[in-house]
Amino acid sequence: MLNARMMSMIAVALIAGQLIIRGWLVATGNFYWDDLVLIARASSNPILSWEYLGHSHDGHFMPAAFLLAGVATWLAPVNWVVPALTLIVLQAIASLAVWRMIRVIAPAARAGALVALAFYLFSPMTVPAFAWWASGLNTLPMQAALAWIVADAVRLARDDVDPARRRAVWIRSTVVFVIALAFFEKSLFILPIAFVAAVLASGGGRAALTTTLRAGRELWASLAAVTAIWVVVYFVTADPTAGNHSVGQTARLVWRSVNHAIVPSLVGGPWEWDRWTPSPPTGFPATWMIVAGWVVLGAITWWAVTRKRGAVPIVAFAVVYAVAAQIPVMWNRSSPETAIALAQHMRYLPDTALVFAIAIALLVGAPPRRAPAPDARQDAEEKSPTVILLPVVGALAMVSAVVSLVSFSASWRDNPTGDYLETAVATLHDNADATLLDQSVPLEILQPVVYPDNQISRIFGRVDPRPDFGTSTDRLLVLDTAGNAVPGGVTQRRLIGQGFGSCARPEISGPSRLALDGPLFPWPWTVSLSYCATRDGEIEMSLDGGRAVRVPVRSGLGAIYVRLDGGGDAISVRPVTPGLRLHTGAGRVGEAVEARFAGG
């Protein structure tokens, strides 16, 4: 029979094994999508400003996550090492907190407690959110806080806390709750989860409900007050209801999440992960895995209901949460254009995996329906099929989960972001004396929907040394899709006709308008324009509705490339330097691209 020392050693080994595997996963990974948005905002705003910390990111209010991302960007801009270390440290904290929680919930459990821990540590439901830095900054603090607060709530409900320390316990849990909310608004679920877990750990029923409310009244009052305040702050600062929503699409996404993500994860699935850049990996469980998952769920439910007192509400708690927790997430992403495969990305499920671990701990810690005689209890426990089967089934599921993680890692590595960033940083170092116009990163790295955070001036803003990101240059360099600096050109969205004068008789000596061959919609455009000037000096250029930009010109023939915001059917030009006159040749307005793609 396992003793406390052996259990601790096995638990430490399991946690160490998880961290080694997760360390390999992040070591072979890199930045992806929202990670670059966090970096872009941290590179273009003071990291302690409310404009940065209080920004509503895709409907999330997460000042602590922004702060941690900002510190990492300040320490090592566009360097994966620091984010990878933050993920490992946060995971270690969460895993230790979960083990503490399991021992509090089921102090007498042996093999069952280790199964609950192993389920959490290796469940495929926790992998995608961990590997993705932006997601891990949300979910890992929530997991750690949930485990810590559940343990404290159970201790208070069972009156296992020294009266002299009760105040310290509930204040500590309240602080932990606030910190978790600052990382992820979904941490609001911690209060109901902790309350239900404490009631169930106390035996369930009306008496347990009353006892739990009374024994933890300070904790529940403080958590409820924080929840109420945070809900107000969240809806004031964020916009979670933006976009189109569909009840039918929400239902389909929730069912797909349950049937193709949660259920197969019970047997360590899926084993197949595919990816279409720039989307994240999508899990595709085999049919047999889905069937096996339902069989395992049914078998666990049957065993629990027939062998354990109070099992029905525990199972119901886990099942209801698994479904209910998906509804707000899927509702926010339930537009008709949303692909149903979104539910198979599995990055919204770490808290569900932890609730399942809580349920397992509650079940293995619950008393049997028919207690054996005292002298036969230990012998019955040692010979129980459950004691033998649980570790075996748990070990098989753990091996299956590792297979899933290896498959996920192979798909996750199919990501051009890391190579692009590494090459681009080296290129910026090598061209530190140049001036670059702003441009978008490649579409497979980040798409225009996140503009302006897809601009190189924002993503590489804290890289040092680097070129100046200016609004004009006489030598257009651009970063190609690999991150190398190459000669640039301007696409032909609109043409600028040649001026009616000549170099000998320049036509521009005051405010003028250069007509385009058609209108432009408001956008950050790049202008390519040849000229000859009577002297060195500056001119001012602008598009309708945009800010005027001062551009240096040199005496004689030259060419300029200018970044202008705005639209309209003409470019305003005004000499700023007294005595400067200008003749303009043909030009273009479009996007800055590699010269070979600019066209004739």
Q: How large is the average pLDDT for residues 66-89?
A: 96
In this structure, of 104-118, 378-392, 486-500, the range with the lowest mean pLDDT score is 378-392
Q: Are 55 and 173 in contact (CB under 8 A)?
A: no
Phi, psi (5° rounding) for residue 584?
A: -105, 140
Cβ(493)–Cβ(584) below 8 Å: no
Same domain? 503 vs 363: no
Please check whether residues 173 and 267 belong to one and the same domain.
yes
Q: Is the pLDDT of residue 375 over 60?
A: no
**Are 403 and 516 in the same domain?**
no
Q: Cα–Cα distance between 451 and 529 in angstroms, integer?
A: 26
Same domain? 193 vs 302:
yes
What integer pLDDT is reported at residue 271 of this predicted model? 95
Last residue within a domain, chosen from 382, 413, 444:
413
Note the pLDDT tens digit of each residue in 502-518.
999 999 999 999 999 99
| H helix count then E strand count, the chain | 22, 16
Tell whether 51 is covered by a domain: no
Tell me, yes or no, whether 363 and 503 share the same domain: no
Mean pLDDT for the stretch of residues 365-371: 82
Strands 60-61 and 435-437: unpaired
Q: Evaluate whether residue 167 is within a structural domain.
A: yes
Domain endpoint, select from 413, 445, 464: 413
Measured CA to CA, the distance from residue 211 to residue 205 in angstroms comes to 10
Whole-number Å distance between alpha carbons of 149 and 449: 38
pTM for the complete prediction?
0.91
Indicate whether 404 and 537 sit together in one domain: no
Assigned domain for 50 exists: no
Pair 341, 249 in one domain: yes
User: What is the average pLDDT across 215-230?
Assistant: 94
C-beta of residue 572 within 8 angstroms of C-beta of residue 513: yes
Is residue 53 a part of any domain in this protein? Answer: no
Looking at the predicted structure, is the pLDDT value of residue 444 above 60?
yes
Which pLDDT value is given to residue 1? 64
CATH label of the domain that carries residue 576: 2.60.120.430
Q: For residues 539 and 562, is the Cβ–Cβ distance under 8 A?
A: no
In a domain, 440, yes or no: no
Are residues 404 and 526 part of one domain? no
Any domain includes 379: no
Find out whether 157 and 198 touch, Cβ atoms under 8 Å: yes
Quick one: pLDDT at residue 241? Answer: 61
Q: Which of 385, 413, 441 is the last residue in one of the domains?
A: 413
Helix (H, G, I), strand (E, B) or coil at 405: helix
Q: What is the pLDDT of residues 300-317, one digit of tens each?
A: 999 999 999 999 999 999
Q: What is the extent of the structural domain holding 499?
A: 494-597
Mean pLDDT of the 27-55 span: 94
Is the pLDDT confidence value at 133 over 70? yes
In a domain, 267, yes or no: yes
What is the per-residue pLDDT for 239? 72
Residues 503 and 407 in one domain: no
559 domain-assigned: yes
pLDDT of residue 372: 58
Number of domains in the chain: 2
Q: What is the pLDDT of residue 129?
A: 96
Q: Are 322 and 262 in contact (CB under 8 A)?
A: yes
